[in-house]
Amino acid sequence: MAVRNRNFFLVPYVLWILLFVAAPIALTLYKSFFDVDGAFTLDNYVRFFTPVYLKMTLSSFWYAFLITLFSLLIAYPAAWLLTRTKHKQLWLLLIILPTWINLLLKVYAFLGIFGTYGAVNRSLEWLGIGAQQILFTDFSFVFVSVYIFIPFMILPIFNSLEELNPSLVFAARDLGASPWTTFRRVVFPLTLDGVKAGCQAVFIPALSLFMITRLVAGNRVITLGTAIEQHFLVTQDWGMGSTIAVFLIIVMVLIMFAAGKREVRR
């Protein structure tokens, strides 16, 4: 028994946690109190609450909200229909397959599709609407992001729909509930966990992706992620970058906490 109580594996694993989980976060917090010249200051936090940064934060949240909402609106029916197909695991695999393809390549494809002479503008011309500037607009940013995130939303919703006991749906229908009422009062509440997991998997990255904004939105859309990248790799103002990162970490923890609450009720 004595041998079993000694957990040899704990030492290397805890070391890993300390070095690559705890230390980076602690150092980011530490860095956020220094300015470009390496002097201790609270200035970064003061700067974060100026209108420039607040506006950026707000618009970043707004875009992330839109992206999450549209992903959910498209993914939920798709996930529901997937559970009704014959070879559902295969179809699910097929819809997840694009997530394995490098994100940058998918974004790059949209440079061609949304370009001035690209496929979309060709179709618009053919329809008689005429070519539009699509690339480097908010629309292209939201569209491409939704495209990227749909599988991440479909998967948890699909899983929770699979766990749903179908007899509950039949019972609701037998008792005279309309399809809409059944969905609203029975199906949706029971798959809320999947929806929450999906929203969490979309919202946090949507706040912080910088390559999509850089490639298809030009510099029109600035998210928290773009700002962090800008401060770290372009202006070299690590202090300010860290401050935004600290804010993002706090937001992330809050969202995880909100999404994790469901278990308390169970």
Partner 1 sequence: MNATRKWPWSNLYLIAVFAVMYAPIFYLTFYSFNSGGTMHGYEGFTLDWYKEVFADTRLLIIVLNTLVIALLSGLLSTVLGIVGALAIYEVRRRRNKNTLLSFNNVLIVSPDVIIGASFLILFTMIGIRLGFFSVLLSHIAFSVPIVVLMVLPKLQEMSPTLIDAARDLGASRWQVLTGVVLPFIRPGIFAGFFMALTYSLDDFAVTFFVTGNGFSTLSVEIYSRARQGISLSINALSTLIFLFTILLVTGYYFITRRSGARAGSASRGGVMAGAGEGESR
Site for partner 1 in 129-168 (CB under 8 A): 147, 150-156, 158-159
Q: Which two tokens stand for residue 204?
A: 């946090």
Q: How far apart are CA 82 and CA 57, in angstroms?
A: 36
Let me know: does 123 contact 114? Beta carbons within 8 Å.
Answer: no
Residues 27-86 that bind partner 1 (CB under 8 A): 27-28, 31, 74, 77-78, 81-82, 84-85
Closest distance of CB 32 from partner 1, Å? 10
Q: Which of 204, 190, 191, 202 is nearest to 247 (CA)?
A: 204
In the complex with partner 1, the residue whose CB is nearer, 142 or 224, is 224
The answer to the question of residue 239 lying near partner 1 (CB under 8 A) is no
Residues 97-136 that bind partner 1 (CB under 8 A): 97-113, 115, 117-119, 122
Site string for partner 1, 189-228 (x = CB under 8 A): -----x-xxx-xx--xx-xxxxx--xx--------xx--x
Residue 83 to residues 86, 149, 169, 202, 253: CA-CA distances in angstroms? 8, 19, 14, 21, 32
Spell out where 81-147 has E strands. none
Mapped onto helix, strand or coil, the DSSP state of residue 40 is strand
The answer to the question of residue 10 lying near partner 1 (CB under 8 A) is yes
Closest distance of CB 139 from partner 1, Å? 15
In the complex with partner 1, the residue whose CB is nearer, 47 or 106, is 106
Closest distance of CB 181 from partner 1, Å? 17
In the complex with partner 1, the residue whose CB is nearer, 22 or 39, is 22
Mapped onto helix, strand or coil, the DSSP state of residue 34 is strand
Q: Which of 194, 239, 188, 224 is nearest to 62 (CA)?
A: 224
